[in-house]
Amino acid sequence: MTVRLRGHHLLCLLTFVGEGYTPSFTRNYVGIAKRLSAGESITVVDGPDDICAPMLCEAGAHCREDSITRRDSLALAAVADVLDRSIGSGSVLVLDADRLRRLRSAFAEGRAAAACAECEWAGLCRSVADGGFGNALVHAAEDPSLLREEL
């Protein structure tokens, strides 16, 4: 299996501590955090993804707004720069310990947070980063056999 994620969710997962828009959104995201922590791969997609899924049936869901699409583009550029590789729709990666450390370091230093500038969660994410990501729910898989090379 693979987790389908849009660009800006590659940054959101760095600081996710179990808070979200609705209870169903949060439950879903916690499940995704567990899957990523177990070493499941990520496939980058354009538009709504597995994290967005619980919100798509709600009136006024922001998942398809132009501002969110712009956030995705900024986030993909930042992640590509940090990981020193091209990343776009269809890219596949696994968050091993090195990638997660590099992304979190860049986020904490502000090098990967431009996409977050207008996000309503930016304050929470900044406090998680300032606290050393200790409460974040996504961790690198501890069993090396779970980690696969990128496809």
pLDDT truncated to tens, each residue of the chain (151 aa)? Answer: 899 999 999 999 999 999 988 899 899 999 999 999 999 999 999 999 999 987 767 666 777 778 899 999 999 999 999 999 999 999 999 999 999 999 999 999 999 888 998 889 999 999 999 999 999 999 987 644 444 444 3
Question: In the numeric block, which tokens belong to residue 148?
Answer: 């696969």
| Domain residue limits, the chain | 2-141
Amino acid at 51: I
Tell me which residue has tokens 């660009």: 7
pLDDT of residue 14: 97
Predicted confidence at residue 60, as pLDDT, reads 67
C-alpha 30/C-alpha 99 separation (Å) is 20
pLDDT at 66: 83
Cβ atoms within 10 A of the Cβ of 74, count?
Answer: 18
**Which backbone phi and psi does 44 adopt, to 5 degrees?**
-75, 135
Give the residue carrying structure tokens 């899924």.
Answer: 53
Concatenating the DSSP letter of every residue in 88-129 gives -TT-EE---HHHHHHHHHHHHTTTT-GGGTT-TTHHHHHHHH
pLDDT number for residue 100: 96
Q: Do 7 and 71 contact (CB within 8 A), yes or no? A: yes
pTM above 0.85, yes or no: yes
